[in-house]
Structure 1
Amino acid sequence: MLCFWGSQIREGLGLVKPEQVRHGNSGIQSVCPRLIVQDMSAGRSFAGFIRDGKVSVLRLRSEDRNNGKLIQLQLKNDRIRLIVCGGDGAVLLSDLGKVLIMDKSTVCKPLKGLDNRQVIQITCGDHHSMALTKDGQVFVWGENSHGQLGLRKDHPGSPSAQHVQSLSGVPLAQISAGGDHSFVLSLSGVVFGWGKNSAGQLGLGDTTDRHIPTILNSLNGKKTVSISCGGEHTAALSKGGTVFTFGSGGSGQLGHNSFRDEHHPRVVAELWGSEVSQVTCGRHYTLVSITSKLIYSFGCGLQGQLGNGEMIAQSVPFPVDLPTECNREYTIEKIIAGENHSFALFFKELESKGKSNPSRGVLTLNDRMIDRWLSGTDPWATIKQEINAVFSSPASLNGSFLKMNRDDQYPRSEEHCGLDFDLVKTSFAKLSENKSLMSEVMKVVEQMLRSLNPKPVGEESLRVYLLLPELIRRLKKQQRTELTEALASKILQLDPDAHKVLEKYWSKIPDDWLKGLVRLFRRASAELIGQISSGKMGYDLTRRLKRFLKILQMIYQVHCNANRDIPKRDFLIHEICDLLDTLQATFKDLLMQLFLLLQSAMTDDCEDMLKLKDYYFGTIEILVKFPFVADTVCKRRMFHYLQWQLFKPRASANVLHINRESVWLDTLMYLRQKKHTYRNPLQVTFIGENGVDMRGLSAEFFSLLSQSLLKWEKKVLEVHESSLVWFNPDGMQANRDFYYLGVICGMALYNRHYINIEFPLALFKKLLQQSPTLNDLEELSPVEARSLKSLLEEDEEEVVDMLFLDFTVKGKKLIPNGDQIEVTKVNRQKYVDLYVNFVFNKSVKKQFKHFSRGFYKGCPLDAWSMFHPEELQQLFQGSPKYEWKELQLCASYEKCSASDELIKNFWTVFYELSEENKRKFLIFLYGTDRVPVGGFSKRSLKILLLDCADADDRLPEAQTCFGRLIIPKYSDINTLRNKLIHAISFCEVFGRG
């Protein structure tokens, strides 16, 4: 049954004889044609009806000739399933997805620009039209006076279909065109609008026209399921049945009990709580269907188009006076609002034959489709065609595998992508079982990747970047690497806003999904590093490596910021160690070649090795920028290798002559001469001693220098209760004192020696431009930090008030007028944050500024910034762990063995030593008591047995540069004990240097 009301029109619409028309209340008429009306539409000039695939149109305007005559369109063999009437014509859609244009003379022609495209939805405005294709692409044609085509501001309009490229990748559910504005709705309820906005009909809060699709953020999270455009107003319907309207309200068409325009979406309060199932906008009025049984109307009713017997404008919803049989026997299938005419298409609840054909959806990939492919029931040509249709379209993929039966389909924010990850995983796993299917899929995906828009509109466009890694990682090595690289390139091309959304998606995806993402790009990086290690050269390799590492870096930052439960070791690329081994071997070969060069001309092999060396160094310089992929040992090796690159072979030697008694003053004098070449190693000579610095003497130098700095009368440093050392904030030292302190610390790091000054971790955080925290204060000053923690944990507000704290620290104001602002339960967190900031930043701002400037000078290789604060602290101060058993395990022996009685006695005596004496032994043997990063196994210990006649009169000796301990063959364990303790306690000159 078809009901209609509004402006006078031909009796029976030409569908039935006048006497077959039923007349109800309020001017509402109803007809039941012999051929069921499957679909219909009404615009400004025409109403169109589809019956049995054929189209008839009726002119609606009185000034038109042949007004009231029902005209059947001549369409040859095209069966039509949809018709949409606009301003002066109509658009038709055939069962095969072909679009036909009907002009005002009722002549129909195929639309140009949609060749080989299957259209699933059409819509018309006054002067423009839109089409949605099966693969999710939007096409527009017509005028572009207000940007209603969504192409660009200067586009003149077009009679043929033009692709709206900015919407590529958005999985769309619906399109709608109004007077001169347009809207589309995504599967996840995201609304995009553009075109004329003179009355705020775009809902963006202003009256400025838009020439490209713009997201209507105020409807985000509202779970929008349909959108309808009127002449200059718009209505949106949410999943729960809530109606929002905005735009022109001059005729009451917004339903807000006013005649004002609305520039933002506003709920139609009178319909709140009703189960609204449909909403459609006419030119100046609106119709809504409730529970598919009732119709309400509001807006302009001067021609009776509201269907309630009133010929006025109504600003609140009133029911349409439908015939009683409509409520009892029929269900509303579709409501149509034109300019001055309204229609309602009804079907009996159990009736299915002839029911209108609903809009078909965008093609999406699902588990059932994959099962059908795997079953082999369809011809291979058909399967290939479907694969191409799905995987060539980002929109199709982005609309696939959504949680369709849950609210997750409508993400509340950009952090939730709405994908059913378990379904994706099982579906792709099944797909990967068939090699032929996967091969065909990958061919299409490779092409699709090239078409991805680097500036996508809307968050949904980015789902493809979550789906593809899961698909790609199931491929074989070569194809996987190629597609991974293509995917990495596209991710890096995304604009900053898209990057942020993608990172938010990553922060919320399941752990196993994120781990799979890490494995994919880590494995690709490892494969390239392996190729480089095997001697393969080329800029292309390092360029590709950078891409993979940049993606890994993005994922790593997400992992850190979101505190994801993924071990950092999952990011480590162990093949870096192989690259470093190869570089070391290349150095050895190169040194041999250079030796031969002294005797003959340079060989081609030598030139090749020099190029290879430089290439390896270039690769290491890349890896330094991505420190999270290397462990501490590898980073140390990279740091040391890059030092070699900085050395200036022809530079004068850096020989520092000093007295033990004035080590700090002599060092300052040496540095102030500005003759030191910081890029080259430091060599130390103690005046009056015969020793050659093979790293042992310089290790001792930094150890002695550390002691001098702590005893320095200027008190540059102060020791806290924790025995840790921090800058003195109250001293009157010159800036150069802190500068030279930084120079010394930088030189120690660069020369691979330790400073025996216990700085807190906060120092290394600051050097790496990280902010110290309350935990860092607890390390430096436990009592202060515990008091602050107690303040934060206190539940009683009265107790906090009774502490009588204000915003000062040791008489210094933390904020302006801080001495007059009390610390309360409300502002205590701010007080603690300012307190920590004061200790580590504000109070020592100048001191640290000059220290860091000196540090950069002393260590000219800025690759130290690749270390974590904890790693940098260990490189600077050595490991805090003394695993004495490890020292014994790593020992080697000359002229003796571990089973000799003397050696057994030595270790017995060693383990009897106090902790302090054990450290003295390290100083005696190595010149420093610091444990290298990685433990004692990273340092050589050789024990040499000296067999001589006067053994009991000799002291043990140490060759510090080589980590060699010389033990005379003592007659008994007591003699060994006494001589060893004496040697480590009183000997300042370390054996043979």
Structure 2
Amino acid sequence: SGGKLSDQQPTRKKPPAPKQSIRTSEPQHSTPKLLMVGEPLSKSPADDSRTSWQALPTEVALKPTLAAAVLTVAAGDSHCLLLTSDGSALSRSGDGEDEEFAPVPGLAKSLATSSRVTQLEAGGRHSLALTSEGQVLAWGSNSCGQLGPRADDGSGGGGSLRVGPVTPLMGHRAVLVAAGGGHSLVLTADHQVFAFGDNSHGQLGRGHCQTGSGLAPVRRLGGLPVRQIACGGRHSFVLSHSAVLLAWGSNDRGQLGCGTEDGNATRPLPVECSALRNRRVRRIACGHEHTAAVTADGGLFTFGAGDLGQLGHGSNSSESLPRQVAELMGSRVVTADCGTSVTYASCQGGRVYAFGTRRNKPWPLTLGPGGAGDVDVSAGGGRAFLRVGGPPMAAKLSIPEGLLSLDSCDPDGDWPGCLAIAACPAAYARAFLLPDIEHENPRPGWHGLDLDAAAEFLQKRLGAAAVSNPERRQELLAAQTELLTDLTEREEAHLADAECLRLLLLLPLSPEFESPGPLQPALAELVLRLPRPLMTVLLSWIMELRLRHFARLVRCLIRAAQHLLASSDCDANGEANEAAKVDADEQRIRRLRPCLDFLKRLHALNSDRRDRLPASSFHLAEIRDRVPLEKDYRAWTENRNQFSFLKYPFVFDGHAKMELLKVDARMQMEQAFREAMMFNLFQGFTFGAIFDMRSPFLVLRVARQALIQDAVVSLSSCHPAELKKPLRITFKGEEAVDEGGLTKEFFLLIFRQILDPVYGMFTCFDSNLVWFNHSTLECPENFSLIGTLLGLAIYNSILAAVPFPMALFKKLLRQPVALDDLKELDPTVGNSLQSLLDAETANSVEELELNFEIETKMFDHVQRVPLSASPEDRVTLGNRESYVSAYVDFVLNRSCRDAFDAFQAGFERACGSPVLPLLEPQELQAIINGESGCFDWDQLEQGAIYVNPSPDYQQLIANFWSVFHQDLDEDNKRRFLRFLTGSDRVPVQGMSAVRLRIQVVHCSPRCLPVAHTCYNMLDLPRYPDRETLRQKLLLAIDETEGFSLV
């Protein structure tokens, strides 16, 4: 028998948990009648169904009052059931031709006082009844346990039994039942499908074909919002809210619609009937070995056994994939049902067609007078009942009443009901759907949810009810955590379809998701366990989220990660007990890893979004305080398969990446230093002092008057391994010893000279930025040396202050450049190209008379360089984007390819590091140049350190800061910074990283302040008054070049 649907009206805006009365009164229509077609109920068992089947409908003899009260009919192999408008259930078997419908014996006694029957189902030789209390009653044959475990027969087996409840369902509210040849299905309010009875062909969906396993839910339907269930002879179907069809059981005739190519005659686990995925199926009906599906547009598809013509395709062939009944394409099928080997289709306008029992094409049934409206068809066994003249089919909604849905809960009036909904995965899948999406399959890029309405409800109504009551808040958190944990940890309980993924978009809108706790790791763990197809769909949905919803998801996961970092019992120095530290770290990593893995996917999506979040949205500032970065980095370099934060570089801010870069440089310097010392030790023991010893430092001896020439000579003869040693600078003719200060000044001076356009290697633009001179005569090796110098500056943690545009740092990190980069370098040309792209008409573009070529100057001679294979082509509205892309590519790539390649090779030779690819272009620029606009002078004073402080120096220190803040303008303050540190740029870490050290010295007041740039230390003489201090300080900062021993 096909799964019949309840006549109850859904009330999605009311709480589902309270018991509800069933509306059974129907509007008045023309005098109804009940017709029967097919085998008579009194058919002898010896009769052949091929000869006893009657094609002419005959009216069932009913009293007029009973005929008018019939709501639904259920037909089995040898019996049928009637449900009337007052909730009465009548039955009739085939024992006698003159037998009349009579109340089901014992049914009335089994009903509660206020309960009534709302649905009847007839199986092969058993029957099921659903009551208004959500209880399931069963009677008839129990040879295969199809009545379920019962109080009067604990074994669940036996012969015929009287009416009794299916006892294990007492804890669940049933909303729909279906009966098959020897098995039964029950749909509960929380969208679980329970199966019991015959399992010889896997029709219970448990992954095996063993019998005697009793009643249990079909686990592989986890999270699916089911709206209809149906049983065939030995197979089962469910139809989801978004028209997804899943089936299991016997497939020996193709009745599951999933093909038989793999040769599997049984499917003991649910499989999708994917051929109907986008057909918007509204109803499914099962025969003994075939199936029919009705779509929203009135189409009818059949598949399975066709030997008696029951598929209606004009042949007696079986079909393993759904095929539309071509003969009915001109009619709009409203509903359909299946008998053992016959299919019935009720069409709009009151026409009913049948096919089967050796008639392989649809033929119309003669209904007689009163058949103008839609006809309800109920088939089973060898017969069908046609209800003519009753309420129109449109009045019967196919979605059962009482199914849980998140948007129907009432936090103020029914909190227990809200908790039940919060723990039901399917309740999320059918909530807050946009109009016209309610019965459509979800697809990549389109989830169909009204997330703004969901956020409004969850945060203001549900959130308000929970936040105001701590006990409720804990209950809600526990329910949602249990939901995620159950779906993640139970092997069979996974999300069954993309429709279930809506849960993963709605849960982050819950108020409990905003606070760090167990929810975020549980959600991330569930997401990471999704099969690849579902993961693809989910990521496409997240990609299309509005920025505020995407940002909330990222923010909640980042907060969870921050909380896990901050809650560690062991700090970065490892001062706690070692065993406790190891255990705490393992627990933290186990919960932190899924959050980071999910964030890694979100970070990749963010890179492809048009309205992307800033990189800082993914940073974990706490990582520098809670994680020993050097230890983590060393472990990562030794074994990249173990957990390390280096696998998630997006969580590092510029400060942390700078620290990692320093750690890597320090490790390489230590290695180079050790190798030099070991070599010297070996040489000393073996050859004495005959051979030159290797210096553990890279020493460059340069003259201020010949910086570039001396640097080129020194670096040209260096082996690449030498570049990994700590750098030391010696200025010829100066007695100073380099402890860092000379190195700072060396880079400041050499880049000032070498990047000067007069030198000819670089061109300066109106933006005061420089770029490679495409007409230079310098060989690539010289550009390689410049790249090496820049790499050495980074490697030795020196601010270089080079006026390169962002394009250079993108190219060094092998990232593509774009028009915005050209606009930064050359605003005039870049903005002109942007105006070209913004032009709205073809005339605006064509009047510019542009071709695919560019004019360049080579020693004051203008040259035309083609930008494409056809430079004579005009730039038009259709090809302007190609022209702009080619223009940008020429300026930033093609014109300087050889020079830049050499520059990059030299750069990587000096500071090649695994950390380098982790950097963003902006971060690399800040590491090289420092911050030019972040001069927090108050922070400089707050972070100052005073060597050997004394109360006697308080006035002197006060005078110094008074002069600094009040008498020095911004330019002089920056000159003081350069005087003190060797650079007028602020480190990435901010002004606090400068760490000014002031040391009061006992010398003549005629002496000037002295800066030790190696240590950022200022020697401040004991000046007698403020004015003297001001004059001496200004004199000192006027001379910021040159070193001497102090």
TM-score, normalised by the number of residues in structure 1: 0.73
Structure 2: how far apart are the matches of 1:966 and 1:400? 73
State the match for 1:607 in structure 2: none
Structure 1: how far apart are the matches of 2:98 and 2:431? 49
Q: Give 1:876 shift.
A: 1.1
| Residues 911-950 of structure 1 mapped to structure 2, 5 A cutoff | 911=969, 923-933=978-988, 938-939=993-994
Partner of 1:490, secondary structure, is helix
State the match for 1:56 in structure 2: 91
| Alignment deviations for residues 791-812 of structure 1 (CA, whole Å, 9 cap, x no partner) | 3222332554565656666777
State the match for 1:394 in structure 2: 425
Residue 403 to residue 927, structure 1, CA distance change in 2 (3 Å):
closer
Partner of 1:452, secondary structure, is helix
Work out which structure has the larger RCO, using CA pairs closer than 8 Å and 6 or more positions apart in sequence: 2
| Residues 305-454 of structure 1 mapped to structure 2, 5 A cutoff | 313-314=361-362, 321-325=366-370, 334-338=376-380, 341-345=383-387, 359-364=400-405, 368=409, 370-374=411-415, 390=421, 393-395=424-426, 397-399=427-429, 401-403=431-433, 407=437, 413-414=443-444, 415-416=446-447, 418=449, 420-425=454-459, 426-431=461-466, 433-440=468-475, 442-443=477-478, 445-453=480-488
> Which amino acid in structure 2 is aligned with residue 686 of structure 1?
F
1:648 to 670, 683, 690: 670
Residue 903 to residue 799, structure 1, CA distance change in 2 (3 Å):
closer
State the match for 2:879 in structure 1: 827
> Given that residues 402 and 409 in structure 1 are in contact (C-alpha distance below 8 angstroms), is that contact kept between their aligned partners in structure 2?
no
1:875 to 918, 924, 927: 927
| Alignment deviations for residues 291-333 of structure 1 (CA, whole Å, 9 cap, x no partner) | xxx4333452789xxxxxxx99348xx6x65454465xxx868
- Give the superposed CA RMSD: 5.8
State the match for 1:226 in structure 2: 283
> Given that residues 302 and 325 in structure 2 are in contact (C-alpha distance below 8 angstroms), is that contact kept between their aligned partners in structure 1?
no
Partner of 1:135, secondary structure, is coil
> Given that residues 39 and 356 in structure 1 are in contact (C-alpha distance below 8 angstroms), is that contact kept between their aligned partners in structure 2?
no
Structure 1: how far apart are the matches of 2:146 and 2:960? 110
State the match for 1:3 in structure 2: 34
1:457 to 480, 483, 496: 496
Q: Give 1:134 shift.
A: 3.8
State the match for 2:702 in structure 1: 659
Structure 1: how far apart are the matches of 2:399 and 2:220? 27
| Residues 3-402 of structure 1 mapped to structure 2, 5 A cutoff | 3-7=34-38, 9=40, 27-33=57-63, 37=70, 39-42=72-75, 47-49=80-82, 56=91, 58=93, 82-85=119-122, 89=125, 92-95=128-131, 97-98=135-136, 100=138, 109-110=147-148, 116-117=168-169, 118=172, 119-123=174-178, 130-139=185-194, 155-156=208-209, 158=211, 163-177=217-231, 183-192=237-246, 211=267, 213=270, 224-229=281-286, 232=290, 234-238=292-296, 242-243=298-299, 245=301, 247=303, 278-280=335-337, 283=341, 285-288=343-346, 290=348, 294-298=349-353, 300=355, 313-314=361-362, 321-325=366-370, 334-338=376-380, 341-345=383-387, 359-364=400-405, 368=409, 370-374=411-415, 390=421, 393-395=424-426, 397-399=427-429, 401-402=431-432
Structure 2: how far apart are the matches of 1:686 and 1:357? 90
State the match for 2:562 in structure 1: 526
Q: Give 1:199 shift.
A: 9.8
> Given that residues 4 and 343 in structure 1 are in contact (C-alpha distance below 8 angstroms), is that contact kept between their aligned partners in structure 2?
yes
Identity over aligned pairs, percent: 26
Q: Give 1:750 shift.
A: 2.9
1:490 to 506, 523, 526: 526
Residue 845 to residue 694, structure 1, CA distance change in 2 (3 Å):
same
Residue 486 to residue 346, structure 1, CA distance change in 2 (3 Å):
same
Which is further off, 752-761 or 704-713? 704-713
Q: Give 1:234 shift.
A: 3.3
| Alignment deviations for residues 380-434 of structure 1 (CA, whole Å, 9 cap, x no partner) | xxx5xx6886555433x43464459875675764532536332333124324545
State the match for 1:600 in structure 2: none
> Which amino acid in structure 1 is aligned with residue 221 of structure 2?
L
> Which amino acid in structure 1 is aligned with residue 283 of structure 2?
S
Q: Is residue 888 of structure 2 the alignment partner of residue 836 of structure 1?
A: yes
Residue 543 to residue 846, structure 1, CA distance change in 2 (3 Å):
farther
Q: Give 1:775 shift.
A: 0.4
Structure 2: how far apart are the matches of 1:946 and 1:725? 44
Residue 881 to residue 470, structure 1, CA distance change in 2 (3 Å):
closer
Structure 2: how far apart are the matches of 1:2 and 1:777? 81
1:789 to 814, 834, 838: 834
State the match for 2:4 in structure 1: none
Unaligned stretches of 5+ in structure 1?
Answer: 14-24, 60-64, 304-310, 375-382, 588-609
Residue 8 to residue 100, structure 1, CA distance change in 2 (3 Å):
closer
| Alignment deviations for residues 911-940 of structure 1 (CA, whole Å, 9 cap, x no partner) | 49xx7x987776555333434336656435
Residue 268 to residue 365, structure 1, CA distance change in 2 (3 Å):
farther
> Which amino acid in structure 2 is aligned with residue 825 of structure 1?
L
> Which amino acid in structure 2 is aligned with residue 429 of structure 1?
A
Structure 2: how far apart are the matches of 1:387 and 1:45? 44
> Which amino acid in structure 1 is aligned with residue 826 of structure 2?
S
Q: Give 1:509 shift.
A: 6.0
Structure 2: how far apart are the matches of 1:648 and 1:168? 56
Which is further off, 132-141 or 101-110? 101-110
Structure 2: how far apart are the matches of 1:5 and 1:799? 76
Residue 936 to residue 135, structure 1, CA distance change in 2 (3 Å):
closer
Partner of 1:335, secondary structure, is strand
Structure 2: how far apart are the matches of 1:400 and 1:71? 40
State the match for 1:22 in structure 2: none
> Given that residues 398 and 460 in structure 1 are in contact (C-alpha distance below 8 angstroms), is that contact kept between their aligned partners in structure 2?
no
| Alignment deviations for residues 871-912 of structure 1 (CA, whole Å, 9 cap, x no partner) | 22111112233759779978979897477699859975x649
Residue 780 to residue 901, structure 1, CA distance change in 2 (3 Å):
closer
> Which amino acid in structure 2 is aligned with residue 176 of structure 1?
A
> Which amino acid in structure 1 is aligned with residue 512 of structure 2?
R
> Which amino acid in structure 2 is aligned with residue 110 of structure 1?
G
TM-score, normalised by the number of residues in structure 2: 0.69
Structure 2: how far apart are the matches of 1:662 and 1:356? 88
> Which amino acid in structure 1 is aligned with residue 238 of structure 2?
V
> Which amino acid in structure 2 is aligned with residue 699 of structure 1?
K
> Given that residues 314 and 361 in structure 2 are in contact (C-alpha distance below 8 angstroms), is that contact kept between their aligned partners in structure 1?
no
Q: Give 1:640 shift.
A: 4.3
Structure 2: how far apart are the matches of 1:336 and 1:834? 69
Structure 1: how far apart are the matches of 2:277 and 2:793? 57
> Given that residues 176 and 182 in structure 1 are in contact (C-alpha distance below 8 angstroms), is that contact kept between their aligned partners in structure 2?
yes
Residue 879 to residue 356, structure 1, CA distance change in 2 (3 Å):
closer
State the match for 1:701 in structure 2: 746
Structure 2: how far apart are the matches of 1:236 and 1:357? 12
Q: Give 1:194 shift.
A: 6.3
Residue 959 to residue 450, structure 1, CA distance change in 2 (3 Å):
closer
Residue 699 to residue 195, structure 1, CA distance change in 2 (3 Å):
farther
